[in-house]
Structure 1
Amino acid sequence: MDKQNSKYRWVVFGSVLLTYFLIVSQRTAPGLITDQLMTDFHITASMIGLLTSVQFFAYAGLQVPVGILSDRYGPNIFLVIGTFLTGIGTFLYSIAANEYVLLVARLIVGTGDATIWINLVLILSVWFKGNEFVKLLGMAGMTGSLGFLMATVPFSIWISNTGWRPPFSTTGIIICLCGILLYFVLIRNPKKFEQTETKSTIKKSIQHHEKTSDILKRVFTNRQAWATFLCHYGTVGTYVGFIGSWAVPYGMNVFEMSRSGASQFVMIGLLGAMIGAPLTSWLSSKLGMIRKPYVLVHIVVLLCWSSFILFQGKPPFFMLILLYFLIGYGNGASALTFAVVRKTFDVKEVGVVSGFANMGGFISAVLLPSAFGKVLDHFQGAEASIGYFYGFMIPAVFALMGLIGGLLIKENSREVAQEQKRKHLEQPRQA
C-alpha cells in the first residue's frame, strides 16, 4: 500500500502533531515560575538566565547535525528518541532538589527538542503529497503556536492551583507516553508500507548523499545562508528568549500584575505569532516577492524593542498590548526565512540550510536570557523598570542584526521571472 494514499497517514499526522504541541509548550513554560525558582532554590537572575540558555544552546547546536543524521538514517527513530528525552527531562525538572539538577534537566529537554521540528518536516514529506504537505506544514506551525499558548494562562492557572512541580511531572509523563505512541505509529506498524517501496526509490535515497564537509563548506560561505541566519536571529531569538524567561516577571515586577495577568500579555504575543505566519506569507505571495515585506517586518520588530527603551522600560499600558502583539507577529512572519531557503538552495541543501537558519534564532534565544539576567542582577535594588530599561537594549541590538540580515537577502529574480512566465502561458489555457 502507498503511504501517500493510505488513511494511516492521518494517524501519523495526528500523533506527530500531538507530540509537537506538548513539546513546544515546554520551551517557555519554565518562564512562568521564574520567581518561584529564585525563591525555592535561592538562585540569582543570572542562574535563571543560564537555565533557559542551556536548553536553547542544546537546541541550536544540534540543528545541523540532526538534519544531516535524519536525512541519512531516517527521521522516525530520531523523533521517538527526542520525544523520550524531552519527557524524561521535563519529569526530572519537576523533582529537582537543587539548581544543578534543574540545569541537567533543561539540557536534556533541549537535546530532545532539537530533534522535533526537522524530523516532523521530513516525516510529513514522506507521508503526504506535495500539495497536502504545504498546507499541513502550515497547520504544524499553528500547532506550535498553540503549544506556546498552552504555556501561558492554562499552565499558569494549573501552577497557581497545585504548585509548580505537579504540572511539570504530569506533562513529562504524558510526553513519554507520546514517545511510546510514536514508536508504534512510526516504527512498529508501518512495516507493510515499507515493503511496498521499490528498489529504485531506495537506490535514489542512497545516491543523493554528498560529502558532508562539501555541503557545510558551501553553506557556511554563502551570503544568502548567513542572511537567513541573521533574519531568524533577530525575530525568533528575541521573542522566544524573552517570552521563555523574563516576560512574566517583567509584567509582575514593573506593572505589578498577577502571574495570570502577566501570562495574558504573553498570550497576546502568541496571538500575533499565530497571525503573522499565514498573513505575511499570503502578502509575500500576492506581491510576488519576499525581501521587501520581510525587511518591513524587521523594521517593525526593531521599532518595538526600541520603544521599550524610549519609554524607560515602562511604556504606557495600552501600548504594551500593541508591542507584544507586533513582536509576536514578527516571530510568526519568520516563516519567510524558510521561503527564502526553498527558493534559493538546491533541494539536497535545503535541510542543512534550514537547520543553519533555525540555529540562528535559537543562538539568539540562548544569549538573550542570560545577558538579560546579568543586567537585572547588576541593577538589583534599584527600581524594577531601570534594570529592564537597560535589559531591553539587548533585544534591540539583536533585532538590528535581523534587519541587516533582511537587507542582505538576494531575491531570486530568475525563479520569480520563470514563475511569472509560467502563469502567463497558463492564462490562455484557462480562458
Structure 2
Amino acid sequence: MGTVRSGVRSGTRDDRGGRAVWAVWAAAIAVYLLAVTQRTSLGAAGLDAADRFGIDPGTLSLFVFLQITVYAAGQIPAGMLVDRYGPRRMLLVGGLILGVGQGVLAFTGALPLALGARALVGAGDAVVFSAAMVVVARWFPPRRVPVVTQVTTIVGQLGQVLSALPLLLLLHAAGWTAAFAAAAAASVLSAAVAGTVVRDGPRGWRAPPPVSARTMLRQVADVWRRPGTRLGFFGHLGTQFSMMTFALLWGLPYLVSAQGLDPLVAGSLMTLLVFAAVVVGPLVGVLTARHPMRRSWILLSVIALTAGTWTAVLVQPGRAPMWLLVVLIVVLAIGGPASVVGFDIARTTNPGSTLAVAQGMVNIAGYSASVVVLMVMGWVLTALGGFTPEGFRVAWLVQYPVWAVAVVGILVTRRKARRVDAARGIAPRPLRDVVRRRPASPTCGRVAVGVPEQ
C-alpha cells in the first residue's frame, strides 16, 4: 500500500460518485494492475532469468532486492510528487517508467542494465500505486473510500495472474524479448489512456497547500513516536513478507525445482495465491471492522498460521503432497489482506494531517523484510549449490527470525498502546464477553481518532 492524501472541497457542487468517476477509476486501476504485473513478472520468469544472464541464485535475488528497495524507499517521495503534480501526470509518468524498465529488460543481455531496469520498475510501481489511491480518495464519497480502496487493491493484485500464466505462456512460446516487450507496451498504452482520461479531481475539488520538507521530517518523527504506528509497522512486517518473498521471486523456482512440479502447474498455484487473497480479503475486513480492539490478535494469528504451515511443509522428508502445497498457498494468501490491518491501525491512531506519513511508514515494514529475506535466501541457495530441494529447505528457515522480531514488536507496542488507551478511559472488552456477544460497557471498545486501538 502507498500513501494517500486527499484535498479539500470548495463551496461548489462536485461530481464525486457520478458517472465520470468510473471511467477515471478504470483508467487508473488499469495502470496499477499492470504495475503489479511488472512487479511480479520476475517471479514467474526467475529460472529463465537465471539462464538468460548466466547468474546464480544470489545474483538473481539482486533483481528483486533493487526493485523492492527502490519501491520501499519511494513511498513518501511518491506521495509528495502526487500531491504536488496530481495523479493524472504521475499515472502517466509512472506507467512510462514501468514501460521503459520492462523494455530495457526485454532487449538487454547485460546484467548491469537489467538490474537498472528492475530499479526503474520499483520506482514506477511506487508512483503508480500512490497515484491510484489518490484517485480513489479524491473521486469517491468518503463513506465509499474504504470499500473502493479494498476493491482497487484486489483488482490490482490480479496483475499477478497476468505474470503467472499469460506472461509465462508467452515467454515459453515466443521467448524472453517478445514477452517482456509486450509487457512494456501494455504499461505504456495504459499510461497514455490514463493521461487522457484521468482528471486530478472532480468539480469542486481544490488541492491542499504543499507540505515543506522540514514539516515532513517533523511529522515522520511524531508519527513514529505513536505506539499505534509502531504496532501497525510490526504487524505489517510479520504478515506480508512471506507472501511477497514467495510471489516476487522464490515461489515458482521452489515449486518447480524443489517440489518437482511442471512449470504450468506451478504457475497455476501462483494464480491460486491471488484468487485466495481476493476471497480472504473481505473476510479479514469484516473481522477488523467488528473487532477493532482485537486487531493485534488477527496479526498474531496469521503469523502463527503462516509459520506453522511452513513448518509442516519443510519437515516433510521428501516432496510435500499436493494438498499441503495448496494449503500453503492459501495460507500465504491470507498474509496480504492481514497486512492491511496494519494500515487500519495507523489510520485510527494518527490524525488526518499525518495519515500519509503513517501509511508510508507502515508500508515500508513488510517490503523491507521482504528485501532482507529475498537476499539472504539467495545467498543461502548459492552456498548450498543452487536450486536444490535441500537448499530451499534451509533457505526458507530465514523467515523464522523475522517472525520472531514481528511478534515481539507487536506484543511490546500493544502493551504501550493499551497504556495510552487506559489513560483515556478506553479498554478492550474481555474476550469472554466478545465470544458470548455481551454488550460493551461505556468505556470498552470506544473508537476515537488518534487513540490507539488494538
Interval containing the TM-score (normalised by the shorter chain): 0.7 to 0.9
Is the contact between residue 298 and residue 338 of structure 2 (CA under 8 Å) also seen in structure 1?
Answer: no
Structure 2 residue aligned with 1:348, among 344, 353, 361? Answer: 353
Letter in 1 for 2:182: T
Is the contact between residue 52 and residue 109 of structure 2 (CA under 8 Å) also seen in structure 1?
Answer: no
Separation in 2 of the partners of 1:274 and 1:6? 26
Q: CA deviation at 1:374?
A: 0.8
Q: Which moved more, 1:118-127 or 1:286-295?
A: 286-295
Partner of 1:135, secondary structure, is helix
Structure 2 residue aligned with 1:176, among 172, 176, 188? Answer: 188
* Corresponding residue for residue 322 of structure 2: 317
Structure 1: state its 5+ residue gaps. 423-431
Is the contact between residue 48 and residue 370 of structure 1 (CA under 8 Å) also seen in structure 2?
Answer: no
Is the contact between residue 71 and residue 123 of structure 2 (CA under 8 Å) also seen in structure 1?
Answer: yes
% identity of equivalent residues: 21
Letter in 2 for 1:374: W
* Corresponding residue for residue 49 of structure 1: 61
Partner of 1:206, secondary structure, is coil
1:78 aligns with 2:81: no
Q: Which moved more, 1:111-120 or 1:51-60?
A: 111-120
* Corresponding residue for residue 30 of structure 2: 18
Separation in 1 of the partners of 2:363 and 2:427? 24
Separation in 2 of the partners of 1:343 and 1:311? 42
Q: CA deviation at 1:287?
A: 3.2
TM-score normalised by L of structure 2: 0.84
Is the contact between residue 273 and residue 332 of structure 1 (CA under 8 Å) also seen in structure 2?
Answer: yes
Letter in 1 for 2:362: A
Q: Which moved more, 1:351-360 or 1:303-312?
A: 303-312
Separation in 2 of the partners of 1:76 and 1:48? 34
Q: Which moved more, 1:405-414 or 1:16-25?
A: 405-414
Is the contact between residue 236 and residue 341 of structure 2 (CA under 8 Å) also seen in structure 1?
Answer: no
Separation in 2 of the partners of 1:125 and 1:215? 21
Letter in 1 for 2:179: P
Count of residues paired in the alignment:
412
1:30 aligns with 2:30: no
1:124 aligns with 2:129: no
* Corresponding residue for residue 280 of structure 2: 276
Q: CA deviation at 1:5?
A: 4.8
Separation in 2 of the partners of 1:133 and 1:302? 33
* Corresponding residue for residue 384 of structure 1: 388
Q: CA deviation at 1:405?
A: 3.9
Partner of 2:242, secondary structure, is helix
Structure 1 residue aligned with 2:402, among 398, 402, 411? Answer: 398
Once the two structures are superposed, residues 76-116 of structure 1 have per-residue CA deviations (whole angstroms, 9 ceiling, x without a partner) of 32232111101111111111121111101101110110112
Change (3 A) 1:206 1:33: closer
Separation in 2 of the partners of 1:226 and 1:286? 22
Separation in 1 of the partners of 2:211 and 2:105? 41
Q: Which moved more, 1:63-72 or 1:245-254?
A: 63-72
Q: CA deviation at 1:177?
A: 1.5
Q: CA deviation at 1:268?
A: 2.5
Letter in 2 for 1:206: P
Partner of 2:37, secondary structure, is helix
Separation in 1 of the partners of 2:232 and 2:319? 32
Separation in 2 of the partners of 1:2 and 1:308? 54
* Corresponding residue for residue 433 of structure 2: none
Structure 2 residue aligned with 1:330, among 335, 343, 351? Answer: 335
Structure 2: state its 5+ residue gaps. 1-12, 429-441, 448-454
1:241 aligns with 2:245: yes
Separation in 1 of the partners of 2:54 and 2:197? 44
Question: What does 1:182-197 align with in structure 2 at a 5 Å threshold?
Answer: 182-187=194-199, 196-197=204-205
Is the contact between residue 24 and residue 148 of structure 1 (CA under 8 Å) also seen in structure 2?
Answer: yes
